[in-house]
Each structure stands twice: as structure tokens, then as C-alpha cells.
Amino acid sequence: EEIRKRSDWRNAELIVLVGGAEVACHFLAMPALSGKELTEAVRLKLSQQMHFPLSEAVVDIHRMTPPDSRDQAIVRASAIRKNVSMAAVAFAQQTRLWLAGVTSSVVALSRLATAERADDSEGVSAVLQIDHVFSTLVILGPAGPFLATELPVGIDDFTKALMRPIIAGDDVYQLEESQAIELRDRVGVPAHDADLGIHNLRGKNLLPLLEPALQRFAQQLTQWLTFAATTEGGGKVSTIHVVGAGAKLPGLSNSLGSRLKIDVESPAWASQSSGASGVDVDSIAAACAAAKFMPELPNLLPEEEFKRRRVARFRSSTTKAGPIVAAATLGIAFLFNQIGGRLSQAVGQVESEMIRVQSMVDENTQLQQQRSAINAIKARFDTFSGQTPNWLGLFKELSYILPKEIRVTRMTTRNDDNGIRIVIDADVARSGAGQSYDEIVERTLTALERSPFAAAVHLLNSSRSDEERGNYDGMLSVEVSLAYVTPSAEAK
């Protein structure tokens, strides 16, 4: 209602950015295919990495490498739940705004990061947008972005940490949410002896509260940076550029950098102003990217909306050009009437038409043969994909389902006649919720057994620490038999 009251906004352009679990974006390395073969292969691989059915999604597939390249094809595949896209259309209609497009915030941030590093064509870097609930990580190689993902960590985690009791000697302080937000934005991650300017508190009083959130953030980043370093076409990330709502938190970049042993900094382009609004680009980086590069981004509007717009344009053009079309039709009809007698005697043209029809028949036969070849290739892709582990999907699954007390130290794969197995070695951190070591182990095994990636789960080793060892209660080793068959010689 507030938007509809703004008469100066009527028919203004609206771009809807979607993030979280409702949208998926992947940069896929595919074989050197083209046309329908590439599209079918991408849709097959995308369906294995999404958290919702492909049949319920609006999908956009864009090849980033040249079509005539003989190297592997780098493809940007984006998908959004159709009901979310339809909700954006309904919102635009109710507010009387022109919906220019619906796109992924991850893709928008990737495009902005690529444009801003155009002069830096060497090495591997990353852009981390820290928002309130989620954060977005984009990793760029010399050829452009090759990995983009969302992390379930944001500055709201620091706010919740600061709302816990703060112990200072014999005194205990409890902050309201507004006070915690003000303190978070003002001091961020303070130095140990920093004066916080409230209740005579110092940095050492806050750091124990912030430590779990910082550890979780660093753990998520470490997993994806390690994956990027071992991915084909990737490498070790040298610098992380931080943007978003969390970029302004004092000390956060330095804290993450010291934990990851990587330079973490705010890029120069993020300090630019967005214009008359005076808002820094880093706080609305994805929105700025969408406004600037929307023609190059995937437009995830439903096909029904595209059809409706085409019909509306046709009706509008018909209304405007109706009299002209009628006059032209009348003139053409008169012309055909004049030459009709001559055409009836042109027997040679009939023979030409027969030749053209025969050519169409030959072309149709050739297309049928091509379609059969495509179906054969698709069948081979189906067999290969069903026998090959999806490591990206597995890592995403583990990052979501493992309890936060589990600190993975090593993963080892085993491949033999019994199938593909992965052994997970991990330290068990002390639970902040008061759960025992056995309860944490039970939660871990239950989460793994319920995962669609696991065919069987076996606890290899579980030992509780007899002595206090930092913040850890013990360790465990779990063997997970993956739900994949061992690739045959032909598939390999």
C-alpha cells in the first residue's frame, strides 16, 4: 500500500533479487557439447544439485565460453522455484510497478565482481557478501567465476551472541536486541583490551561470546576455499574482498583473515557511492549489480509471463497498425487478382514447388536422424551421471546437516567392489546447549543416516577425552557408504 501511494513510482522498473534455498546457481564445467546436447546435459547435472524438483522450477542456461571452443564448456545454470517467480509477478501487478526481471543475487554479485576485476586476469580471488542471515561467496579464476554458494552465516549471528549474558567480574549484563545491534555495528570484533564505552566493558568480555560465530564462519569458508583449491580450473584463493552489511563491522575482516591466513579486505570499488541516495555500494552490492547488468543476468520470469507480454505487445501493435495493415492487404489482393491469369499458365513453377517439397522431406529425415543421435548421447550421459559421485552436492549436504559441534578434520574416500565410501574424521566440540558427548554423536549418526546421499553409516571410532582439551569433548570417525554404484570400466 505504501508503494502504491507513491505516484512518482508508478510504472517504475522493479528488479527482484532472490537468494537462499528458493534459488540455485551453479557454474558447471561440461564436455565440449553444443545446442540441445549441452542443454540436456546441464539440466541433468543441475537436477542432481538442487534442493527442489527441476519440474517445479524456472531454469536459465547460459554458455560462458565461446560456442566454437573445443575445450570444456563453462555454463552458468540458474533455477528458481516457479511459485516464487509467480509471487514476484503478482507483487509487481499489485504495486503497479513494471517487473523488469527476477534474478539470482548470487549471479548478480558474480557479474559485478567479474566486471570490477577486469584488469586483474591472474590468480584466484573471492568476493564475500556478508548479509544479515546468509552470506554469499563467489570465487573467481582467470577465466571468470567458477564457484558461487551461500553460507548459512550472517551478522545476525553476532547480534544473537551479544544478547547472551556478558560476564564482567562479579557483574552480569544482558543487552536488548537494539543495544546488541548498536554495539555490534560500533565495535564489531574488538581488540582484547578495547574500551567498549558501555558498562565499563572491554573487548575481553565480548570475545568469548563472539568466538562460536567466528569459528562457524571460518569453518564454512575453509570448506569452500579448500574445495575451490582442488577444483579443476580453480586454485588457492589469495584475497577475499568483503562487501555487504557486514563489511563495515570493525575487526571482522582482520579476524577472518588471521584465521584463514588470507588477505581479507574491502575492495576500492565498494567504497563508491550509489548516486543521489548516498548509500555505499558495498551495503547493496547485489542490488547495484542487478540494476547495472540486468540485460546480462538470467531473467527467471515464468514462461507464462513472457507469453502474456508477447500477446500484449502484439495486441498493442495490431491496434496501432490496423488501418495500415488493412490498406496493404487490399492493395496486395488487387495485385494478385491482376497477375492471377499469368500464374495459372506457369507450369514450370509447379515443378519448382515439387522440388522444394522434396527438399523439405530430405531435411526432415536428416533432423530425425540427428534427434536419434541426441537421444543416444543423452542415454550415455544418464548412465555416466548415475555412476559418478556428486562431490559438490555431497559437501553442501554435509555443511547443512552436521551438528555445529562437529569439527571435520579429514575426509578420506575408499573405492572398492563394495562401492564408494567416505570416512569422516572429526573433533567433537563442547556443546553450548548443554548436550552430552553421546547425544552429539547420536545426532550426527542420525543426520547422516537420513541423508539421501548415504546408503549406510558405520561408526568406526568414538572416544571421549578424559582430560579437558580446549573446547573439545572428544573425537569420532564415521564411515558413510555413498548411494552410488562403483563406476564400470566403460563408465570410467
**What integer pLDDT is reported at residue 340 of this predicted model?**
58
Position 336 in a domain: yes
pLDDT score of 233: 63
Residue 492 has pLDDT above 50, yes or no: no
27 plus 135 within the same structural domain? yes
pLDDT 10s digits, 41-79? 888 888 887 778 888 888 898 888 787 777 777 888 888
- Answer whether residue 184 is part of any domain: no
Q: Is residue 53 one of the residues assigned to a domain?
A: yes
Q: 259 and 118: one domain?
A: yes
Per-residue pLDDT tens for 82-136? Answer: 888 888 888 888 887 888 888 888 888 888 878 776 555 557 888 888 888 888 8
pLDDT of 227 > 50? The answer is yes
408-447 b/e (C-beta count within 10 Å ≥ 16 → b): eeebeeeeeeeebbbbbbbbbbbbeeeeebeebbebbbeb
pLDDT at 4: 62
Whether residues 352 and 379 share a domain: the answer is: yes
Q: pTM above 0.85?
A: no
The confidence score (pLDDT) of residue 489 equals: 41
Predicted local confidence at residue 164, as pLDDT: 92
The CB-side HSE value for 406 (13 A sphere, CA atoms) comes to: 25
Q: Are residues 355 and 222 in the same domain?
A: no
Assess whether 32 and 142 both reside in one domain: yes
- Residue span of the structural domain in which 364 resides: 323-386
Same domain, 137 and 261: yes
Give the pLDDT band (50/70/90) at residue 490: very low
Residue 360 has pLDDT above 70, yes or no: yes
276 has pLDDT over 60: no
Q: What is the pLDDT of residue 304?
A: 86
Question: With pLDDT > 70 as the criterion, what percentage of the chain qualifies?
Answer: 81
Same domain, 351 and 404: no
Question: Is residue 294 domain-shared with residue 149, that is, in the same domain?
Answer: yes
Rg (CA), the chain: 29
pLDDT over 60 at 177, yes or no: yes
Domain count, the chain: 3
Distance of CA 309 to the CA centre of its chain: 28
Residues 376 and 408 occupy one common structural domain: no
Would residue 443 count as lying in a domain? yes
Q: Which of 386, 405, 426 is the last residue of a domain?
A: 386
Gap between the Cα atoms of 103 and 301, Å rounded? 8
Query: Can you tell me the distance from the alpha carbon of 158 to that of 97, in angstroms, rounded to the nearest whole number?
Result: 36
- Do 86 and 21 lie in one domain? The reply is yes
User: Which CATH number do you get for residue 434?
Assistant: 3.30.1360.100
